[in-house]
């Protein structure tokens, strides 16, 4: 059973990082080993499930989750404009309003503002790309790295099933019920075939995200940063830190070749392929994922 004192988060707080206000939340004791969770494309920090964060806190971490720029309750960069669907589809650099490097700088800046010299970094999907860039460009801030369902930026690996592109580029409905249905439909398309989503749980998560703020233009700017990112492989090969790469065998959005390439690029990285996992983290697999995070952090 979890310590009741670890079951309540700090509540939402804000840190000023350059011109960006980042909304963040912490779990666990402030003097425990810091662990920063970086979420993926168009995904708010609350999709790091409370119980997932609480379990990590119970395992000895001071857990920090945050909204990336352009999502949730962090700064929405409306003045930058919105990339067109054509620009996104052809990966036009003219459509990119900022690079992933800037998002890595946001995360490193958050640690600085929280007076944390270095943390264990765990990123999922786009968050894995950001975590990799933190290790590359802000190595003193990173004690260990876990990259989950992510890739290297090499366009020969980790590419989405082409059948998902229309879904990725479609306009989401902006009414509450429509958004919830789109949210559930998306996770059914990209989720784990061996672990079908609990629709009631997904509904609660979607409603929470909707109530915190819906910003489709921000998600489009994030997508432009992803699709125009450079190949990180040469820089990953220079890393020297404990690294674990986790990927689902059934991931249709970032196919498993992306995870394998990431593990191959980083010297000494451990690769954990989870059978039947898609582009989500079903609760049935949390124990394996959390164990891998803890083992990796122990080496760091």
Q: What confidence tens digit (pLDDT) does each residue in 155-181 have?
A: 999 999 988 877 777 777 888 999 999
For residue 5, pLDDT over 80 is answered with: no
Model confidence over 191-225: pLDDT tens digits?
999 998 888 999 999 999 999 999 999 999 999 99
Sheet holding 243-248, edge to edge: 13-17, 20-27, 61-66, 33-38, 119-124, 142-148, 243-248, 270-274
Complete domains list, the chain, with CATH: 4-159+216-299 (3.40.50.1820)
The confidence score (pLDDT) of residue 4 equals: 40
pLDDT band at residue 8 under the 50/70/90 scheme = low
Region 179-194: what's the mean pLDDT?
Answer: 91
Q: pLDDT at residue 30 above 80?
A: yes
pLDDT tens track for 223-267: 999 999 999 999 999 999 999 999 999 999 999 999 999 999 999
Computed over every residue of the chain, the mean pLDDT equals 94
For residue 166, CA distances in Å to 96, 162, 163 come to 20, 8, 7
Could you report the per-residue pLDDT of 48-79, keeping only the tens digit for each? 999 999 999 999 999 999 999 999 999 999 99
Q: Confidence class of residue 6 from pLDDT cuts 50, 70 and 90?
A: very low
**CA angle in degrees (0–180, nearest 5) for 91-94-97:** 95
What token pair was written down for 257? Answer: 């070749």
- The one-character DSSP state at 195 is S
- pTM recorded for the entire structure: 0.94
Residue 300 has pLDDT above 50, yes or no: yes
Which residues lie closer than 8 Å to 87 by C-beta, 6 or more apart? 94, 95, 224
- Given a cut of 90, whether residue 2 has pLDDT beyond it is no
Other C-beta atoms lying within 10 Å of the C-beta of residue 15: 18
* % of residues, the chain, pLDDT over 90: 86
Position 165 scores a pLDDT of: 76
Per-residue confidence (pLDDT) for residue 162, from 0 to 100 = 86
Phi–psi pair at 150, nearest 5 degrees = -125, -170
* Per-residue model confidence as pLDDT tens digits over 134-163: 999 999 999 999 999 999 999 999 999 988
- The torsion region of residue 130 among left (phi > 0), alpha (psi -120 to 50) and beta comes to alpha
Percent of all residues in the chain with a pLDDT value above 70, rounded to a whole number: 97
Rounded CA-CA distance 285/204 in Å is 20
Burial 288-299 (b: 16+ CB within 10 A, else e): ebbebbbebbee
Query: What do you get for the CA distance between the two ends of the chain, in Å?
Result: 27
């Amino acid at each position: 059973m979890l310590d009741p004192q670890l079951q309540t988060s700090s509540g939402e707080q804000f840190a000023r990082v350059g011109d960006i206000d980042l909304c963040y939340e912490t779990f666990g004791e402030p003097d425990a080993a810091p662990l920063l969770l970086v979420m993926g494309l168009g995904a708010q920090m609350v999709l790091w499930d409370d119980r997932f964060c609480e379990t990590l806190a119970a395992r000895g971490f001071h857990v920090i989750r945050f909204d990336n720029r352009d999502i949730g309750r962090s700064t929405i960069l409306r003045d930058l404009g919105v990339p067109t669907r054509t620009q996104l589809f052809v990966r036009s650099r003219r459509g990119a309003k900022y690079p992933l490097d800037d998002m890595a700088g946001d995360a490193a800046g958050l640690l600085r503002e929280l007076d944390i010299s270095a943390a264990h970094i765990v990123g999922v999907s786009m968050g894995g790309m950001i975590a990799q860039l933190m290790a590359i460009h802000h190595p003193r801030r990173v004690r260990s790295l876990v990259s989950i369902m992510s890739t290297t930026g090499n366009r020969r690996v980790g590419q989405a099933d082409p059948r998902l592109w229309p879904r990725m580029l479609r306009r989401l409905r902006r009414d509450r019920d429509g958004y919830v249905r789109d949210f559930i439909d998306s996770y059914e398309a990209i989720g784990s075939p061996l672990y079908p989503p609990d629709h009631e749980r997904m509904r609660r998560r979607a409603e929470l995200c909707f109530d915190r703020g819906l910003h489709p233009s921000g998600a489009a700017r994030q997508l432009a940063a992803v699709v125009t990112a450079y190949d990180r492989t040469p820089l990953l090969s220079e890393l020297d830190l404990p690294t674990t790469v986790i990927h689902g065998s059934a991931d249709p959005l970032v196919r498993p070749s992306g995870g394998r390439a990431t593990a191959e690029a980083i010297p000494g990285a451990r690769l954990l392929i989870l059978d039947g996992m898609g582009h989500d983290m079903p609760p049935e697999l949390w124990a394996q994922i959390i164990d891998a995070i803890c083992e990796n952090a122990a080496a760091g």
